[in-house]
Amino acid sequence: MKEIYLDNGATTKVDPEVIKAMMPYFDEEYGNASSAHTLGVNAKNAIDEAREIIAKSINAKPEEIIFTSGGTESDNLAIQEIAYPNRNKGNHIITTKIEHKAVLNTCKFLEKDNFKVTYLDVDKEGFVDPKALEEAITDKTILVSIIHGNSETGTIQNLEELGSVCKKHDVYFHIDACQSYTKTSIDVEKQNLDLVTICGHKIHGPKGVGALYIRKGTNIHPLMHGGDHEFKLRPGTENTPGIIGFAEAVKLANNEHVEYITKLRDKLIDGILKIPDVKLNGPKGNKRLCNNTNFAFKGIEGEAIVGRLDVKGVCCSTGSACSEKSLEPSEVLKAIGLGDEEANGSIRLTLSRFSTEEEIDYVLKVLPEVVKTLRKISPFGGK
Amino acid sequence: MYTEKTIKHFRTPKFAGEMKDADAVGEVGNIKCGDVMKMFLKVEDNVIKDIKFQTYGCIAAIAASDVMCQIAKGKTLDDASKITFKDVIKELDDLPQIKIHCSVLGTAALKKAIENYKGKVGMNVT
């Protein structure tokens, strides 16, 4: 049986067109973009073109885009290297309780170095209140870092509102947009963004490549030390095939895909909500990532549901919890008000443009059986 | 990752389900922690004739419950009381470090069911 891949929030299949675009940069155009000869110049031109494509997609200038190894590096660069160079202005950072580990643990690291971090609450759908953000800003605040599209609850924050608060108080505004990029509009001018983290592998591009948008004039230092690559902000020979693949993935993404995925998502949500004792985590409608669904099932545990769905050929993930790596219920799900039991009983199904209606129909057929089987062997299964 | 045996017991548990006419029941765990196990015993002449479980928990918890039942079935109550979490892990070929507690919970549920039985029939609980 061919697997049904509904874990696109974790990573995505690389589009065949992306692979095609990347291939020449392994064995034909393999020059170092810093070299003066033809092969070097060809690589540099290709990277410049990729930079333009990505800059345009968020209404930025090419020289404001720095290529990195991915979302985690971009988040670290944005947060650590705003924090230290701007320490003379203040030591206060504001983030939220629903961040990705790359942001959360970077903030925790800075706390050990005498930075103060405020973790904003969110409402029951996962939204940050702009008023709460404004109240948290002090004269020591230097940076606000907020996840744009949440990887678990699918919540898309209102960047215009949050950005205007940051602008009013003259603090840097960073967003982690790994999940939202190409799925909902990002405009660094309209939304007043100073730093934007994006990456390739969530949008059918390759793994190991990402970017950070850095507004011109931002006081930021490099995280690593080395050569003068990437406007002296990110040393290391450029990952040319990765960068080309990343830009190709951006070129391929379009609004029709978003509409298509949204339709499938809503069909999946409506179908799953017909199962008894289940609830949707996160908001409905256009304030939710087009490809994200997340449900809490009563009386059964998330990893067991994932394990049973895997037997049926469906790949998905726990919204949280008892995964092999961590036993703690998801902090994100707890932040939107779920109890430990509900958070432990949650799973996430995330779609892509390669998902089909037949796949959704199949999931809607097998998931109720899986839930029934597990409830039968659970002491809390009820009927 | 989980061993093949763990996955097999999770996917096709032989002892899963409720036992309506059980002689004794033992329940341990806390839903907040993510694992609750309930063991049902059918006892004849101090021997576990039949055993079933209901578990709220992850893949490891369900597999450990099933293997626990497999080991205990046919044993005398005293021998079954001596089963340790190490026996469960051995039978599963291994468990990830952070899932060891699932096997501990399995043995605790069985012990509780045995104590429950002994209390019912007026035996000394050892």
Residue type, B44: E
Question: Is the pLDDT confidence value at B124 over 80?
Answer: no
Q: Which of B102, B105, B109, B113 is catalytic?
A: B102
Please provide the DSSP assignment of A44-70 as one string. Answer: HHHHHHHHHHHHHHTT--GGGEEEESS
Q: Tell me the one-letter amino acid at A335.
A: A
| Three-state secondary structure call for residue A150 | coil
Residue among B10, B56, B59 minimizing CB distance to A378 = B56
Alpha-carbon torsion, ordered A368, A296, A127, A289, to 10 deg: -30
Selecting from B13, B56, B58 the residue whose C-beta is nearest the C-beta of A380 gives: B56
pLDDT, position A162: 98
User: Which of B39, B54, B56, B66 is the best mutation test for A, with the most CBs of A within 10 A?
Assistant: B56
Are the beta carbons of A266 and A219 closer than 8 angstroms? no
Q: How many domains does chain A have?
A: 2
| Residue B121, pLDDT above cutoff 90 | no
Q: What is the mean pLDDT of residues A92-108?
A: 97
Asked if residue A138 belongs to a domain, the reply is yes
In this prediction, residue B60 carries a pLDDT of 93
Q: How far is A143 from chain B (nearest CA, A)?
A: 36
Q: Give CA–CA dist A148/A150, Å, rounded.
A: 6
Confirm whether A333 is domain-assigned.
yes
Whether residue A329 is found in the same domain as residue A345 = yes
Q: Band of the pLDDT at B1, cuts 50, 70, 90?
A: confident
Q: Which of the residue ranges A30-34, A315-319, B80-84 would you say has the lowest mean pLDDT?
A: A315-319
Do the bridges between strand A116-120 and strand A65-68 make them parallel or antiparallel, or are there none, so unpaired? unpaired
> According to the model, what pLDDT value does residue A319 have?
65
Domain count, chain B: 1
* B61/A376 Cβ within 8 A: no
User: pLDDT tens across A355-366, in order?
Assistant: 999 999 999 999
pLDDT at residue A382 is higher than 80: no
pLDDT higher than threshold 80 for residue A261:
yes
Nearest-CA distance from B92 to chain A in Å?
16
- Band of the pLDDT at B125, cuts 50, 70, 90? low
Task: Tell me whether residue B125 is in a domain.
Answer: no
Mutation for testing the B interface, residue in A301, A320, A325, A369 having most B CBs under 10 Å: A301
Domain that holds residue A296: 254-376
Looking at chain B from residue 36 to 75, which residues have their Cβ under 8 Å from any Cβ of chain A?
Answer: 36-38, 53-59, 61-62
Identify the residue whose tokens are 């479980």: B53
Interface test with A, best of B7, B59, B66, B94 (most A CBs within 10 A): B59
pLDDT at B77: 96
- The CATH number of the domain where A54 resides is what? 3.40.640.10
Q: Which residues of A touch B53 (CB under 8 A)?
A: 377
pLDDT of residue A290: 98
Residue A323's pLDDT is 46
**Cα–Cα distance for residue pair A160/B63, rounded to 1 Å:** 49
Assigned domain for A1 exists: no
Identify the pLDDT of residue A376. Answer: 94
Alpha-carbon gap: B66 to the closest alpha carbon of chain A (Å): 11
Same domain, A131 and A149: yes
The token pair at A256 is 């029709």
Residue A265 has pLDDT above 90, yes or no: yes
Tell me the percentage of chain A whose pLDDT exceeds 90.
Answer: 95
The encoded tokens of residue A380 equal 């809390």
- What is the chain B residue with the closest CA to A322? B58
Closest partner CB to A378 (pick from B7, B55, B96): B55
Q: Does A212 touch chain B (CB under 8 A)?
A: no
Q: Chain A window 286-345: which residues touch B at a Cβ cutoff of 8 Å? A: 299-304, 307-308, 311, 321-322, 324-327, 329, 339-341, 344
A290 is catalytic: no
pLDDT tens figures, A112-150: 999 999 999 999 999 999 999 999 999 999 999 999 999
CATH number where B94 lies = 3.90.1010.10
Check CB contact under 8 Å for A304 and B32. Answer: no
B96 touches chain A (CB under 8 A): yes
pLDDT at residue A170 is higher than 50: yes
Query: pLDDT band at residue B126, thresholds of 50, 70 and 90?
Result: low
What pLDDT score does A329 carry? Answer: 84
Indicate which of B58, B68, B104 best probes the interface with A, i.e. most A CBs within 10 Å of its own CB: B58
Over residues A69-80, the pLDDT tens digits come to 999 999 999 999
What value does the mean pLDDT take over residues A289-297?
Answer: 97
Please state the rounded mean pLDDT for residues A146-162.
98
Q: Which chain A residue lies closest to B61 (C-alpha atoms)?
A: A304
A281 and A148 in a common domain: no
What CATH number has the domain bearing residue A348?
3.90.1150.10
Q: Are residues A42 and A134 in the same domain?
A: yes
How many beta-carbon pairs under 8 angstroms link A with B? 71
B-chain CB neighbours of A304 within 8 Å are 10, 57-59, 61-62
State whether the Cα torsion A98-A102-A103-A108 is positive or negative: positive
pLDDT score for A346: 94
Q: Provide the mean pLDDT of chain A.
A: 96
The verdict on A202 and A258 lying in the same domain is no
pLDDT cut 70: percent of chain B above it: 98
So what's the pLDDT on residue B32? 73
Q: What is the pLDDT of residue A322?
A: 44
- Tokens 């978003």 appear where? A258
> Are A224 and A95 contained in the same domain?
yes
Q: Test A379 with B62 for CB contact under 8 angstroms.
A: no
H helix or E strand, kind and range, residue A349: strand A346-350
Q: Which strands, in side-by-side order, build the sheet including A210-214?
A: A65-68, A210-214, A195-199, A172-176, A141-147, A92-96, A116-120
> Are the C-beta atoms of residues A33 and A54 closer than 8 Å to each other?
no
Q: Does B17 touch chain A (CB under 8 A)?
A: yes
Considering the domain boundaries, does residue B126 fall inside one?
Answer: no
> Do both A180 and A274 map to the same domain?
no
Range of the domain at B16: 4-120
| Cα(A301)–Cα(B7) distance, integer angstroms | 16
pLDDT band at residue B123, thresholds of 50, 70 and 90?
A: confident
Asked if A221 and A269 sit in the same domain, the reply is: no
The reported pLDDT for the residue numbered B31 is: 78
pLDDT of residue A381: 76
Residues 6 or more apart whose CB falls under 8 angstroms from that of A161 comprise: A130
Tell me whether residue A7 is in a domain. Answer: no
What are the tens digits of pLDDT across the range A206-234? 999 999 999 999 999 999 999 999 999 99
Predicted confidence at residue A321, as pLDDT, reads 42
Q: A234, A252, A270 — which closes off a domain?
A: A252
Label residue B5 exposed, middle or buried (CB < 10 Å: 0-12, 13-18, 19+).
middle
